[in-house]
Every structure is written in C-alpha cells, then in structure tokens.
C-alpha cells in the first residue's frame, strides 16, 4: 500500500501507428484516453477517465479535469460510424451495441441479425442524430463521430448525463494507424489484451503481405478516383489510400503530392498523367464499363479502361446496400493490401480470392 500523498505510477499503453489517441494507466486502475485528433485541424483534445465499476466508491476524481468519466466495463453503448462496428465484433462485444444512426449502411451479417431482432435501434442520421431516442435508450456510452466542433446533438446527450467519447479513426493517414483504433474501444470493456492480440495479428499479416509485394519484378503504374460533376477526386500522395498502392508495390502516379486527403483535379490534368496507367482502382460508385463509359466519354481515353484493368470496391455490398469497404477496410488493412497485390502482381498471390476490389463488369 502506497503512503499518503504518493503520486500513482503512470504507464503508457503501446500505440505504434495511430496518431490520434493515447492511453495511459495509473496505479489506481484508472485508464486515461486522450483524443488528440477527433476531426481534422481540431484545436483542442478530449480526455476521458475510465474507472472500474467495482472501484467507483473508493476513487475520487476531479470531474472538471475530464470531458467524461466512464464506469467500466460498460454494458451497452451507441456508436455512430460503420467503422466502429468491426472493432466491436472482433472484441466479441457487438451484443452491447443498442443503437446506431442509419442502420441501412451496416453490412456486417452479425449486426444485420441484431438489427432485424430490434436489438440495435435506428437513431436517425449522423447529421441529425435523434437525441430524444438516444436519451431514452440511456446508453452507458455514445461513441461520437464528427467532422467539426459543431456538435449540438452530442452536447444535448452530454447534458442528459450520458458520456460521449469522440473517435477519430478516420483522420489517421496510415492503414495500420486506422486499424489500431481497436485499442480505443478495448478499455471500455476490459478487453485490452484481446485488442493487442487482434491488432498484432493484423500488423503481422500486413507487414508480411508488404514484404511479398516487394519481391515483384515490376511496379505497375496506377491511377485512381473518378469525376464528380467536372472535378476528378483522387487520393493525395500522403493519404492512406495512396499508402496501400505503394505498399502493394504499385507506382501511384500522384505519389509526390503532399495531401493527406483528396486531390481535386480537372480531367485534362488526370489524362495528362494517367492516360497510360496500367491499372485504375476505385472509380467511385461505378461497377461496370458500360456505366463508366456512359457517365463520361472522357473515361474512354484511358488505357486502363480500354485494356479492362479497372477495379472497384463498390460491388461488395451488404444486404441493405452498404459498402463493406467503408465499414471493414479501416479495421482490416491487411485484406485490402492483399487485394491490391493480387491485382497488381497476380503471380504472387495466385490462389487469393479478393474481398473488396473486384474487376468492373
């Protein structure tokens, strides 16, 4: 037993790739989660204190020092992004999920079953979260997703004494950084060891796949994206999408750009650089050459279109139309990388069955 006045020891939990959060454990069993990147260019961080329920009576905290104090393990929660679903499923706590905005976008079969059984309630849309329903559900935690500091719905929920913790997994710039956010969810359920084990396996498989890709004899040129109205959107050179291409030993033609999000270019600009690209991946929502060609005659100017080397993740959908890529890819970058290696270097993974990226019809 420590003498009175002794400062409890603090140990950092290993977070190797993610830049948006840190976790610390204190000697008194308190877990401190700090979210440094809840959305792009956030001016302030959020700090949450997690206290074991069995020790609540013996621990006194200055609640003003934290954005939320949460008793753990939690028995139920609401999440607000499909990217949160795979982490809950992997940790074996999907049954704790009681509400979600726009459930039609969820693809996971286990989640769809719970939705059909009315165990996961529909809570409006993320932009207009039905706060009255959330408050009526009385979840022990709401995991929030936001693109800015304007969060009236979450403020209302917090005023009803329901803790909100922001998750910024989508702001990460590296594939393994996104996947590591499973460690954010784990402490709420006392599942830290399981999360470490799950992430370690994903990391090992990702690194192994990357090493296999480097044995290829060539690096084919790759373009990406498509036009919306008159603007062609494609990944910036520092984005996670570009990282996948490079790790799959593809030569991404815009790898020199410094953007971590999207580039916005004219079709002429894209044609200038990408006309002879060997592969074209992720052409927005298009799933067939007919649709792509009808959407714009410009697309027919590219070699990848004419050589039938265009691949999309838009064909892999859940039973209600949600795209599995948006849900599962951040959690399983190892699968995305193997898909791309199979496309760029089929000889390296000859018997591989792609999960997300499929050829256009």
- pLDDT per residue over 274-310, tens digit each? 999 999 999 999 999 999 999 989 999 999 999 999 9
Q: Which band of pLDDT confidence, cut at 50, 70 and 90, is reported for residue 29? A: confident
Q: Is the pLDDT of residue 184 over 70?
A: yes
Question: Do 69 and 61 form a contact (C-beta atoms < 8 A)?
Answer: yes
State phi, psi for 231 to the nearest 5 degrees. Answer: -110, 130
Beta-strand pair 121-122/142-144: unpaired
Q: Is the pLDDT of residue 7 over 50?
A: no
Q: Is the pLDDT of residue 138 over 50?
A: yes
Q: How many angstroms separate the CA atoms of 262 and 43, rounded?
A: 22
State pLDDT tens for residues 33-44: 999 988 888 888
Domains, the chain: 10-202 (3.40.50.1980), 214-359 (3.40.50.1980)
Calculate the CA dihedral of residues 151, 37, 242, 336 and round it to 10 degrees.
-80
Task: Kindly state the tokens that stand for 200.
Answer: 């370690």
Question: Do 167 and 145 form a contact (C-beta atoms < 8 A)?
Answer: yes
**Average pLDDT for the chain:** 91
Q: How many angstroms separate the CA atoms of 107 and 122, rounded?
A: 15
In this structure, what DSSP letter does residue 81 have? S
Q: Which band of pLDDT confidence, cut at 50, 70 and 90, is reported for residue 9? A: low
pTM assigned to the model: 0.91
Beta-strand pair 279-281/310-312: parallel
Q: Which band of pLDDT confidence, cut at 50, 70 and 90, is reported for residue 59? A: confident
Mean pLDDT of 86-111: 95
Question: Do 164 and 142 form a contact (C-beta atoms < 8 A)?
Answer: yes
* Helical spans, DSSP H, in 236-350: 240-247, 267-274, 289-295, 303-306, 324-328, 333-344
Q: Is the pLDDT of residue 5 over 80?
A: no
In this structure, what DSSP letter does residue 349 have? S
Q: How many angstroms separate the CA atoms of 234 and 187, rounded?
A: 36
Between 116 and 261, name the one with better pLDDT: 116
At 261 the pLDDT is 85
273 CB-near residues (< 8 Å, 6+ apart): 223, 253, 254
In this structure, what DSSP letter does residue 136 have? H
Task: Kindly state the tokens that stand for 98.
Answer: 């009681």
Task: Kindly state the tokens that stand for 55.
Answer: 């020790």
């Amino acid at each position: 037993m420590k003498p009175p006045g002794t400062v409890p020891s603090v140990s950092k939990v290993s977070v190797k790739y993610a830049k948006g959060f840190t976790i610390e454990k204190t000697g008194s069993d308190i877990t401190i989660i700090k979210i440094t990147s809840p959305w792009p260019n956030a001016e302030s961080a959020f700090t949450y204190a997690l206290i074991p329920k069995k020790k609540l009576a013996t621990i006194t905290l200055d609640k003003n020092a934290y954005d939320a104090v949460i008793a753990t393990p939690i028995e139920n929660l609401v999440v607000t992004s499909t990217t949160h679903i795979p982490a809950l499923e992997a940790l074996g706590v999907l049954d704790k999920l009681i509400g979600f905005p726009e459930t039609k976008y969820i693809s996971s079969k286990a989640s769809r079953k719970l939705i059909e059984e009315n165990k996961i309630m529909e809570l409006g849309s993320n932009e207009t979260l039905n706060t009255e329903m959330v408050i009526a559900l009385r979840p022990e935690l709401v995991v929030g997703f936001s693109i800015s500091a304007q969060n009236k719905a979450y403020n209302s929920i917090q005023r009803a004494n329901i803790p909100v913790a922001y998750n910024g997994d989508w702001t990460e710039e590296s594939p393994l950084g996104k996947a590591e956010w499973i460690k954010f969810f784990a402490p709420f359920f006392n599942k830290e060891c399981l999360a470490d084990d799950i992430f370690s396996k994903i990391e090992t498989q990702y690194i192994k796949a990357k090493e296999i890709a480097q044995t290829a004899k060539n690096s084919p040129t790759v373009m990406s994206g498509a036009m919306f109205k008159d603007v062609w959107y494609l990944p910036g050179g520092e984005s996670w999408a570009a990282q996948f291409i490079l790790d799959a030993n593809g030569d991404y033609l815009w790898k020199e750009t410094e953007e971590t999000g999207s580039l916005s270019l004219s079709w002429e600009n894209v044609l200038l650089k990408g006309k002879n690209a060997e592969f074209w991946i992720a052409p927005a929502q298009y799933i067939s050459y007919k649709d792509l060609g009808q959407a714009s005659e410009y697309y027919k100017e590219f070699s990848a279109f004419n050589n039938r080397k265009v691949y999309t993740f838009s064909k892999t959908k859940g039973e209600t139309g949600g795209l599995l890529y948006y849900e599962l890819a951040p959690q399983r970058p190892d699968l995305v990388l193997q898909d791309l290696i199979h496309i760029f270097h089929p000889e390296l993974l000859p018997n591989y069955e792609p999960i997300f990226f499929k050829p256009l019809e």
